[in-house]
Structure 1
Amino acid sequence: MLSYCCKIEAAKIPISVQQTIIANYEDAAAKAKQQADHYKKEANTYSLLRLGVFALMIFVVYLTVQQDNFVVLGVGVIILLAAFTALVAQQGKYERLRDYYLDLERVNLNELDSINTQGNLYNNGQRYGNEKHFYTSDLDIFGNASLYNLINRTATSAGNDKLAAWLSAPADKSTILQRQDAVKEIAANNDWKVNTQTKLLFAGKEDIDQTKRLFIYLGTPLHLSGEKWLSIYIKIAPFLLLAMVLAGSFLSPVFILVAIAVAIANMLILFSKGSYILKAGAVAGKISDVLASYAVVFEAIESKQWQSKRCTELYEKLKVNQTSKNITELSKLINKLSYSLIMIVGFILNVFFLWALKQIILIENWKRNNHQNFEEAFDVIAEFEALISIAVPAINYPEWVYPTIADTEGYTLTAKNIAHPLIRGKRVDNDYDLQDAFKIDIITGSNMAGKSTFLRTIGINTVLALSGAPVCASAMEVSVITIVSYMRIKDSLNESTSTFKAELDRLQMLLAAVEHEHRVFFLIDEMLRGTNSMDKYLGSKAVIEQLIAKKGVGMVATHDLQIARLEDKYPDYVRNYYFDIQVKEGEMLFDYKLKHGECKTFNASLLLKQIGINVQPE
């Protein structure tokens, strides 16, 4: 990735505004930590109480054996099970609150890291990198120190994919405007944004295929044999067994033998369905907590009154299917299934209630009635994550603006005070104007004067604009265009490709794109570096003339002043711009400002002199 630290000037955001943003995140992180510590203590207290109830259960079993009185067992177990269940529920509640506030602290600290160092706990998108893509490699869209790394706040695999897709291709005008409205609404509700990020943070720790397995599980029936009569028997089994125990205690010991027979029969039924129970339990046990976590996220979306068109459409998809309610129900059923794994508690539940089998039948009934719409529901979460991500600049960098999306016959790309979003701290801004026209701009200039950075500035802000995000400028208007870049050309030993061959391949792709893709805007940085100077000039000139013939539009950065002469030949199509330097007392001074015309001052000799090489004129 590029290092941008040298290209700096006055920052535009007021210091007081940035300090307020940072102070808000610091305060939120501190408060979240206090809450996390509080709920950690509460959870520990209920853990000890639960251990005490478990000890009492063992004591009740001991008394039953000692006194040979099953009434003690029946009454004691019912009371203690109720107490144990209540304590488990309360401890779980406090643990969830503890984890929530720990994650809330992480989310707020992450925003501080993002502002101060461009650090990010979320994925940097490295896996989406593709050197053969039209522009993502050249414009630092994915990977370390990338645009994706700057804005990504997606935790789910689907959310990561959706954001990557948005940054990899322009949307149509209608979609861009809908996203802009959605981003404005989310940015105006930063508390909701941060809380929703917090509730989704767990997904970043999950296996990338977690949701795929979930969809498979929800869509695959268990086909439990004898399910109909088992459902009926499960309802009467606990009353039958309790009646036999009470009858044996008050009427005749014979009924105790019947109770034992019923208990054995219950266990035999469970053993006969053991393979079903193990199969369902192995899968369901892994997704209970995940489902509960997603249910909270769905509820956060459903409980908000949305105003923007796109957010409202996404909300309606969830509300019509009561998504949060249904997923909460499934999560509770799966969680209840796990009770059967708790030693003595599980044994008693299975003997009296055929607990594991009962929960599996209820889960299968749920799957039959509700699984159809859940893949679409999870896509709603992914889109909200992507919207949250492109809202990050609006919240953390309020000086950024929403671009106007032009609808002109020619190409429009105008900007005021546009700067590179990945330059930390102070940065140079420039103006650029291409208004409803077909032009090729030749940009000349010295080494390190700012040509390449300017091309990337235009490119990366256009990518932001056409994804629906704010841009790093005070004003911008842009047509829906397809960026194609020719910048970081390198050889490939694996593909036996020389630098020149790699350049030819990229040129071929560019020319084909100009001819076949929708409204291509190209960014070319120093064509044909892998050949001699004469072929470089003649080849570059030929390529530009072919682009003119195809009505291509874009920018060409070059050191070759002869290329600037194309403006004389095509005055209505070619424009010259340059970046220059000032040399004072042997020192090079860069202002990194774009100017009309062609460059007259070059610095290669000065740079060589600084490393001890004197260039003599011929």
Structure 2
Amino acid sequence: MSIQVREYYHEKQLECEAEIKRFERQINIFSFLRLFVLIAGIFLFYQTISYSLIWLSFVLVFLLILGFAWLVAKQSRFQKHADYFRNLSIVHSNELNSLDRKQNIYSDGSAFTDDLHPYSSDLDIFGKGSLFGMINRSATNWGIVKLAGWLKGPASKAVIQERQFAVIELGANLIWKHHFQAVLLFANKAAEDQSAELFKFLNISIDKSASWLIIYVRWIPIVFLVTVIGSWFIPSLLILLSVLIVFNLIVTQQYHSRILKTDSMIGKMSRILEHFSEAILAIMDENWKSVMCRKLADDLKGKADKELSVQIKHFSLLISHLTFGLTAVGGILNVVMLWNIRQLFAIENWKKENHEGLKQAFDVLASFEALISLSSLNTNYPEWCFAEINEQENYTLKAKSIGHPLIPSLQRVDNDYLLDNQLKIDIITGSNMAGKSTFLRTLGINTVLALSGAPSCALSMEVSRMLIFTYMRIRDSLNESTSTFKAELDRLQALIKMLDNSGKVYFLIDEMLRGTNSVDKYLGSKAVIEKLIAQNAVGIVATHDLQIAGLEKKYPDYIRNYYFDIQMEADEMRFDYKLKEGECKTFNASLLLQRIGIYPENQHQQD
């Protein structure tokens, strides 16, 4: 199936390249036509002047401006289409790279890296080579934050199921979701949050303007026009016209700083808002089947039956008008009709009526970006499963052929695991590099995926709604004067505290208390496990210490033993990375030390 997906992306990429070439040809043609019209217009204007056809000269100039403007508009439209297909080609190319496990063009979520989080650091949820870096398709900062939030903790069963159906729908609707990604690609890795200044502006209270000025601004274009026409017949009205011009200049100057401040905050948002408007329109025009997508689309319905996409497009137009008013031509319009003040009042009125609606629209866009991110797994790896959420009293984590999603399918080894409405602590022993740590991360990261509503890398999976807690990469800190052992104690304390204060917590511990001597390590590990049993805690402890495996005899109803081993073939180690029941009997540390010249060969033979 992945071959079919790859072929689809490649085919679409070729289609995009053909469209780009087609529009580039159109752009070149219209560039030539613009030059031709300009040269022809100058020549004809010169001819009309030569023959003293003044009236024809004015008509010619008027037609030249109209024709040139039409050509510019047409060429701009072709440029917009070419840019769109370039973005769409990038989207398809990125999916091909994702299948090959190459660099994703979207954020890897490094900003969310947190060593104190219950599991995100140990399970590689954020950062380089992370789960977030693999699945993220969010271009906007809002979408990135939304997706990160979904991966930081489990959702409720109802929300998980809603997301699952939405992900399935989006995963099958490739044309729509790639169009949506292409429209929002402009925001990807932008130098700054594209919407930050906009919402900063929207949150600033509006300075109330005098009611007489609002009325004056509304009627001044008509008054000015009537005065100009009247002065043609009644010359004394020129005095009134002069007064209007001077008064308009004074009023414009009084509002100049307010206008400049508004333009500095949102002046560059016009084109950006057009993109957002197009993305919103794409959501509203689609006939959604899943409950979550329908709910999100309904949230985009604005006031007075005006769709938010239309309202945002209108806002974009107002910003363009304000920016135009700061040009030389705009200066004339300010004299005639107080253009900038008119646009400022319109923007502030829009702000008052649509502030909350715009926030909601961005939240909907973020939700769709997060859903599309999760759906990338469903599209690219259709063999992965959606987990069933178990609500029984005890803990459930059942998986068939579960593998680590960050390891390519040809390299990873899948395993089965069964915890069926039970309270158990599993002890996993095994040789170095046999797969213990990877298996713990496999269970953890797939549970995170399952409880976010995404597909899991397994043939089938059933899991309780629970919080994962990991104890794996314990590091010292010179800045905080924290030793490895102290860091381990802090992590264990955090686990105990979480067990006291949270609901279901499933722990994954990899080689606890490694920062002390072997005697204290065993005694401490044994005490920790017995403390966890006393608190009815559930999880897995991976260790090299075979004495820990002996706890099964003392707690046969609570502790289970599993192991990963190696096969020795003529001093060659063979790893099968398969989980087996019981205790490990084969270890390889001495052989590994011998290979790098530390452990004497004869000593190894004696051992």
Cα displacement (A) at 1:37: 3.1
Deviations 1:393-430 (A, max 9, x none): 10011111111111111100000000000002411000
Q: Aligned pair in 2 of structure 1 residues 40, 266: CA closer, same or farther (>3 Å)?
A: farther
CA distance in 2, matches of 1:51, 1:349: 29
Q: Match of 1:237?
A: 224
1:394 pairs with 2:394? no
1:515 pairs with 2:509? no
Taking structure 1 as the reference length, the TM-score comes to: 0.89
Q: Name which of structure 1's ranges 500-509 and 258-267 shifts more when overlaid on structure 2.
A: 258-267
CA distance in 1, matches of 2:114, 2:60: 66
Map 1:265-276 to 2 at 5 A: 269-276=251-258
RMSD: 3.2
CA distance in 2, matches of 1:352, 1:83: 26
Q: Aligned pair in 2 of structure 1 residues 102, 257: CA closer, same or farther (>3 Å)?
A: farther
Preserved contact between residue 511 and residue 544 of structure 2 (Cα < 8 Å): yes
Aligned counterpart for 2:259 among listed residues 257, 277, 283: 277
Q: Match of 2:417?
A: 432
Preserved contact between residue 118 and residue 150 of structure 1 (Cα < 8 Å): no
Q: Match of 1:6?
A: none
Amino acid at match of 2:442: T
Helix, strand or coil at the partner of 1:336: helix
Q: Match of 1:364?
A: 348
Aligned counterpart for 2:467 among listed residues 482, 487, 495: 482
Amino acid at match of 2:287: Q
Amino acid at match of 1:302: M
Q: Match of 1:286?
A: 268
Q: Match of 1:157?
A: 141
Deviations 1:211-255 (A, max 9, x none): 2321232344354552321221034435654x36xx85xx79999
Q: Aligned pair in 2 of structure 1 residues 342, 105: CA closer, same or farther (>3 Å)?
A: farther
Helix, strand or coil at the partner of 2:419: strand
CA distance in 1, matches of 2:22, 2:260: 38
Q: Match of 1:557?
A: 542
Deviations 1:379-404 (A, max 9, x none): 11111111111111100111111111
CA distance in 2, matches of 1:348, 1:69: 29
Cα displacement (A) at 1:279: 2.6
CA distance in 1, matches of 2:22, 2:244: 47
Q: Match of 1:298?
A: 280
Preserved contact between residue 157 and residue 208 of structure 1 (Cα < 8 Å): no
CA distance in 1, matches of 2:239, 2:421: 93
Amino acid at match of 1:559: H
1:499 pairs with 2:484? yes
1:410 pairs with 2:397? no
Amino acid at match of 2:218: S
Preserved contact between residue 104 and residue 195 of structure 1 (Cα < 8 Å): yes
Preserved contact between residue 418 and residue 474 of structure 1 (Cα < 8 Å): yes
Deviations 1:329-349 (A, max 9, x none): 111222233334555x54555
Cα displacement (A) at 1:31: 1.6
Taking structure 2 as the reference length, the TM-score comes to: 0.90
Cα displacement (A) at 1:528: 0.6
Helix, strand or coil at the partner of 1:576: strand
CA distance in 2, matches of 1:461, 1:600: 29
Cα displacement (A) at 1:360: 2.8
Preserved contact between residue 183 and residue 390 of structure 1 (Cα < 8 Å): yes
Identity of aligned residues (%): 48
Q: Aligned pair in 2 of structure 1 residues 223, 30: CA closer, same or farther (>3 Å)?
A: farther
Gaps of 5+ in 1: 1-16
Preserved contact between residue 484 and residue 522 of structure 1 (Cα < 8 Å): yes
Amino acid at match of 1:474: L
CA distance in 1, matches of 2:512, 2:64: 80
Helix, strand or coil at the partner of 1:319: coil
Cα displacement (A) at 1:92: 3.2
Cα displacement (A) at 1:300: 0.6
Q: Match of 1:14?
A: none
Q: Match of 1:547?
A: 532
1:319 pairs with 2:301? yes
Amino acid at match of 2:510: D
1:573 pairs with 2:568? no
Deviations 1:291-350 (A, max 9, x none): 11110011011111111111111111102441101001111222233334555x545555
Deviations 1:461-510 (A, max 9, x none): 00000000000000000000110000011111111111111111111111
Aligned counterpart for 1:310 among listed residues 287, 292, 301: 292
Amino acid at match of 2:567: Q
CA distance in 1, matches of 2:48, 2:334: 19
Amino acid at match of 2:516: T
Preserved contact between residue 238 and residue 353 of structure 1 (Cα < 8 Å): no
Q: Match of 2:440?
A: 455
Q: Aligned pair in 2 of structure 1 residues 219, 148: CA closer, same or farther (>3 Å)?
A: same
Cα displacement (A) at 1:24: 1.2
Q: Name which of structure 1's ranges 333-342 and 48-57 shifts more when overlaid on structure 2.
A: 48-57
Map 1:212-227 to 2 at 5 A: 212-220=196-204, 221=206, 223-225=208-210, 226-227=213-214
CA distance in 2, matches of 1:260, 1:48: 45
Preserved contact between residue 528 and residue 539 of structure 1 (Cα < 8 Å): yes
Amino acid at match of 2:527: A
CA distance in 2, matches of 1:77, 1:254: 33
Q: How many residues align?
A: 596
Preserved contact between residue 405 and residue 478 of structure 1 (Cα < 8 Å): yes
Amino acid at match of 1:544: I
Amino acid at match of 2:289: Q
Helix, strand or coil at the partner of 1:142: coil
Q: Match of 1:530?
A: 515
Q: Aligned pair in 2 of structure 1 residues 237, 75: CA closer, same or farther (>3 Å)?
A: farther
CA distance in 2, matches of 1:63, 1:283: 48
Map 1:158-237 to 2 at 5 A: 158-220=142-204, 221=206, 223-225=208-210, 226-237=213-224
Amino acid at match of 1:360: L
Helix, strand or coil at the partner of 1:117: coil
Preserved contact between residue 402 and residue 476 of structure 1 (Cα < 8 Å): yes
CA distance in 2, matches of 1:58, 1:272: 42
CA distance in 2, matches of 1:77, 1:266: 30
Preserved contact between residue 47 and residue 91 of structure 1 (Cα < 8 Å): yes
Preserved contact between residue 429 and residue 584 of structure 2 (Cα < 8 Å): yes
Cα displacement (A) at 1:43: 4.0
Cα displacement (A) at 1:368: 2.9
Q: Aligned pair in 2 of structure 1 residues 351, 53: CA closer, same or farther (>3 Å)?
A: farther
CA distance in 1, matches of 2:203, 2:75: 32
Amino acid at match of 1:136: S
1:585 pairs with 2:585? no
1:127 pairs with 2:111? yes
Preserved contact between residue 486 and residue 524 of structure 1 (Cα < 8 Å): yes
Cα displacement (A) at 1:376: 1.4
Cα displacement (A) at 1:207: 4.6
CA distance in 1, matches of 2:446, 2:227: 72
Cα displacement (A) at 1:33: 2.3
Cα displacement (A) at 1:353: 5.0
Helix, strand or coil at the partner of 1:436: strand
Helix, strand or coil at the partner of 1:444: strand
Amino acid at match of 1:279: K
Q: Match of 2:12?
A: 28
